[in-house]
Amino acid sequence: MSGTVYLVGAGCGDYDLITLRGKELLAHCDTVIYDALIDPRLLDFAPDAEKICVGKRAGLHSAAQEEINALLIQKAAAGKQVVRLKGGDPFVFGRGGEEILALQAAGIPYSTVPGISSCIAAPELAGIPVTHRMLSRSFHVITGHTADDAADFSQYAGLGGTLVFLMGLRALPQIVSGLLAGGMPGDMPAAVIASGGTPQQRVLRSNLSEIAEQAKEMQPPALILVGQTAAFELSPTVRLPLSGVSVTVTGTAAFTQRVQTVLRGCGADAYAVNHLQIAKKCEIPPLSQYDVIALTSRNGAELLMQHFRDTRTDLRTLSGLRFAVLGSGTASVLEEAGIYPEIMPAQFTAAALGSLLAETDARRILLLRAEQGDPVLTERLAAGRAPFDEVHLYGTAPNPAAQPQEIGTDYLVFGSASGVRTFFAMGYTVSPHTKIVCIGRQTAKAAGTLPVITAEPHTAEGIAAAVIKEEEHETLSQTAQL
């Protein structure tokens, strides 16, 4: 039985500009065949899929269009659900029509998912409207890249409205000379937008006669606008505290996703390195012999909740149990099930939880945590003569799908000591300019001699606060040097 090919527009720039339908298809597909210009974080939406890059970047094509067509047919004919992930929209200079014709000829089922094209999105994100009342009643999208490099750009000079040239940076001198030859005035506003919709976006505003000379240092991907609206500057004036700051978060998928969400809310360009995966080590013992259950992480709490679901435990039978947790994140997992912890230290540290538990009148405490947990917790319990059983419920293991690389973002985040050790053991390296942020002293200690920023409190919000504080310190230092 044949599979289906879905031509999905990835949108313009950042990964989160994809449509909900596109994201859903990525989550359930077998194979992703993608272009070079997409945000690589989009591939995180398809964690279990086969991923094939086919290039399609000006001057750097890694596969001919005929080869891409054949690959789509091959994968679908083998019964795969295939997402053909294309930058922008599949039908706006994306050669999506050619791919569909090939699929039709081969009898392969297909569907399309529109994407936000860069021809409107990149100008909008740069503060340039492609239409504006009384100034531009139309806009025209034109390819600046042709197979024979013999385009006659003078024919567009009298169109009026806003001219948007895609893939035209290398042809900018020809575009300018053609428009001028066609009668367009040299003082017509013009703009070049490079890497639109990303943190690397760069915008150059000028006029038609000068734009080509001024844009010589700009790099593709880029688009060119010519028309009265190109002079507009309608970019947002609100700047988030981490705008322009790049952060890589390491750890398990659940941890990196949680921290990325908070960092992006602060304006950061956040990436994930999911180099760890959770490995359950043992079963949870019968709870009847305990009156306090202590959990030190979201992972332990989620495994406990899964245990209740697997054993069909009626939560009403837990009325005699008290729950102790380390951190608001751990507490939130229980609270989602209607269980509200009675014991949580104000400081989210193992030492604070150990001291608090040692002061309880517990008959017996069940400590469910990772196999490499901070020993200070059990030391505090033993010193306080609190009766307890420690169960190493889970551990972390290297993620076989991870691909070691050099991390060159402004910051690198670690959430555990084992995460630090595994990261470097797997062959990852860190750029000299990258600052390391760690949760807790044990994690910071595992970083060895590397300079470390320690996040307080030990939460995603604490990590964001630590990065913001460091950025503010850097800004003050740079100001003092002026």
Question: How many CB atoms are located within 10 Å of the residue 231 CB?
Answer: 16
Given 39, 75, 80, 167, which residue is catalytic? 167
Supply the pLDDT for residue 365.
Answer: 96
Given 56, 80, 86, 435, which residue is catalytic? 56
pLDDT at 313 over 60: yes
Question: Which of 69-78, 311-320, 324-333, 344-353 tops mean pLDDT?
Answer: 69-78
pLDDT at 153 over 80: yes
Q: What is the dihedral of CA 184, 190, 194, 197, to 10 degrees?
A: -120
Supply the pLDDT for residue 424.
Answer: 96
Question: Which of 5-9, 319-323, 327-331, 473-477 tops mean pLDDT?
Answer: 5-9
Q: Give the model confidence (pLDDT) of 183-194 as tens digits.
A: 999 999 999 999
Supply the pLDDT for residue 441.
Answer: 82
Q: How many CA atoms lie within 13 A of 173 on its CB side?
A: 4
Supply the pLDDT for residue 243.
Answer: 87
Considering the chain, what is the average pLDDT of its residues? 91
Contact 287, 322 (CB under 8 A): no
**Is 469 designated active site?**
no
pLDDT at 422 over 90: yes
pLDDT at 480 over 70: no
Strand 162-166 relative to strand 139-143, pairing:
parallel
Most distant CA atoms of the chain, gap in Å: 91
- Alpha-carbon distance of 166 to 357, in angstroms, equals 64
Q: pLDDT-derived band of residue 458, with 50, 70 and 90 as boundaries?
A: confident
Q: Which domains does the chain have, with CATH numbers?
A: 4-115 (3.40.1010.10), 120-231 (3.30.950.10), 246-275+399-481 (3.40.50.10090), 280-395 (3.40.50.10090)
pLDDT at 327 over 70: yes
**Is 56 designated active site?**
yes
CA-atom Rg of the chain in angstroms: 28
**Is 310 designated active site?**
no
pLDDT at 181 over 70: yes
